Structure formats: C-alpha cells, structure tokens
Amino acid sequence: MAVQGLVFVHSESPARISFNSLGVGDTATSSNSILLDSLTSDGLVSITNIPSFQQKKIGLMSNLQACIMSMNNGDDVPTQVFDDGTIRRSFATSTLPNGVGPQSIKTLDEYEQALRGSNSELSPSCQHFNDHLASFRSTVDLVTRKFAERLSVEMGTSLPKPLLSSSSNDGHGNYDDIKEIVEGGTQLEHFHSYQKQEEGNKKNGGDDETATIDFHTDQGFFIAFTPGLIISSDTSQDIELSDGFYIQDSNGDKMLMEFTSDDDLVFMLGDGVNQL
C-alpha cells in the first residue's frame, strides 16, 4: 500500500524464524525467547520453511483472482472500492472452536449451488482454488497453534492467570495462556484480491500517491497473513511478490517491509496485546 505524504525512512526485512524452531520442548523457555526477541522491535515475525506450504500457497493464490472474476465478473463477491481506485474483492470464512472446525466460504458455496441448478459447474480456476483450500487452511491452522503455544511458553510466568475470563456458555470460563485463547476463539479468515482501476474511475480524485488503506491496528490478538502475489492477466508471465507493505514502528517511524519468497506466513500482533 502507498501512503500519501509518506516520508520514506528506510526499508526492513522481517525477523525470520524457521517453522521447526517453533517446537515446544525443554529448550522453549523464556531464556531462549526466539519469538519474543523477534517480536519486540516491531511486533512482526515471519515463519519460513513450512513443509510443502509454498506449493499450496501459490496454487491457491494464483487462482483467486480468476476464480472471483468468473463469478459474474466479480459482481457476486463482496467488493470495496478505495480512494486510490483499488478494488478489493474478498472471500470470507472462519474456523470455529470446540471441535466445530473450518467453515465453508459461503459466497463460493452459494455460487456453486446456483450453477448446479443450471447444470453448470465452477470455472477451472475456482476448482483449482478449491483443490488447495483445505490443505492451505489446515497448514495455517497448524502453524498458528504452534506459534501461540511457543509464545505462551516463552512468556511463561509473566502472563497473569487467568489470562482471560469468559462469561459465555461455551464451557470454558478461564483461559490461562495464549495457546488456550487461540484454541478457544473464532478465527476469521479472508482471501483478498486487489485490482487497480483505470484512470478516471478513482474516488475523490485519488492518485498514485493516495493510500490504498491507511495505517490501522488489527483488533485481534494477532493476525497471520501470506505476503501478496502479483498475478498478471497474461498467464505466460511469472508470478511476482507484491510490494508496498508499510508498517509504523513503536517510534512512529514508517518502514517498508521487504518480503521474499522465504516468507511463508507472517504474524503481526494486534491491539488485543494491549488488553493483557
């Protein structure tokens, strides 16, 4: 995202931790705080070397835009237009706790059901997207749980107990650590496609220096995301990593985060951390 009036300070790569380092054992203590040491500078860390994740990620994301546009030219998908002319179309779903598990993408389900009624089927791009969806979500869930477990162990006795109390009737009154909060909470999942409009279709006279999305803090405890990919309409061209992802650090400095193909899944702390 480009930020209007941004004074460029510097670029930075995220702290990177191999997936295998998230294992919890005798070495996962506050004296070996690989996550805490990485998160304290800017609240962001990248997990690398997740087994088979690159193939799943590319297989899923490379088909997202084409799948969305095959659904009545994107009109059947929730859409938002930003001031700089960028159109965001999104699939939304969730994973529910207490054994309920992953939910389907309602928008895609309803479209598929409508097609069946007319003896048609999903486009090849949507079929390819679906082929990778369950495996992709399962891997993200696994890494998220290991991230939360490792963070719980590293923070150890610095966390109050209970960490969170719930008055709901879900049978889980107290949550003693971050791992229990993640396992007991609803995980919201979004698959976004961003597409720039042609000149003349921008809102409020937006230009190339207008921010797509202004700086904001996620309201959850943390978010996990995969760095974006640029997919050309010309399928013969290579898939590229997108750029323009800025963060604002604790000093108020604005930094361009430089991701590489090694950055499988990135975790960024949200406002929920301030509630502990």
For 57-112, the pLDDT digits (tens) are 999 999 999 999 999 999 999 999 988 889 999 999 999 998 899 999 999 999 99
Cβ pair 145, 50 in contact under 8 A: no
pLDDT at residue 211, as a whole number: 65
CA distances (Å), origin 249, targets 10, 12, 44, 215: 12, 11, 10, 11
pLDDT at residue 107, as a whole number: 96
pLDDT at residue 176, as a whole number: 85
Residues for the chain: how many in total? 276
How remote is the C-alpha of 61 from its chain's centroid?
Answer: 12
Residue 3 pLDDT > 50: no
Question: For 223-260, how does the pLDDT look when each residue is reduced to its tens digit (9 = 90+)?
Answer: 999 999 988 766 556 788 888 788 877 777 788 889 99
pLDDT at residue 4, as a whole number: 41
Q: Which residues contact 258 (CB under 8 A, 6 or more apart)?
A: 11, 12, 13, 243
pLDDT at residue 5, as a whole number: 44
H helix or E strand, kind and range, residue 83: none
Question: For 192-215, how does the pLDDT look when each residue is reduced to its tens digit (9 = 90+)?
Answer: 999 987 655 555 544 555 567 777
Mean pLDDT of 5-31: 71
**In CATH terms, is domain 10-275 a member of 3.40.50?**
no
For residue 100, count other CB atoms closer than 10 A to its CB: 10
pLDDT at residue 76, as a whole number: 92
Q: Please state the domain extents for the chain.
A: 10-275
Average pLDDT of the chain, as a whole number: 83
Residue 259 CB burial class (10 angstroms; 0-12, 13-18, ≥19) = middle
H helix or E strand, kind and range, residue 232: none
Euclidean distance between CA atoms 243 and 258, whole angstroms: 7
Q: Which is nearest to 72 in space by CA: 89, 85, 92, 60?
A: 89
Residue 163 pLDDT > 90: no
Residue 12 pLDDT > 70: yes
pLDDT at residue 69, as a whole number: 94
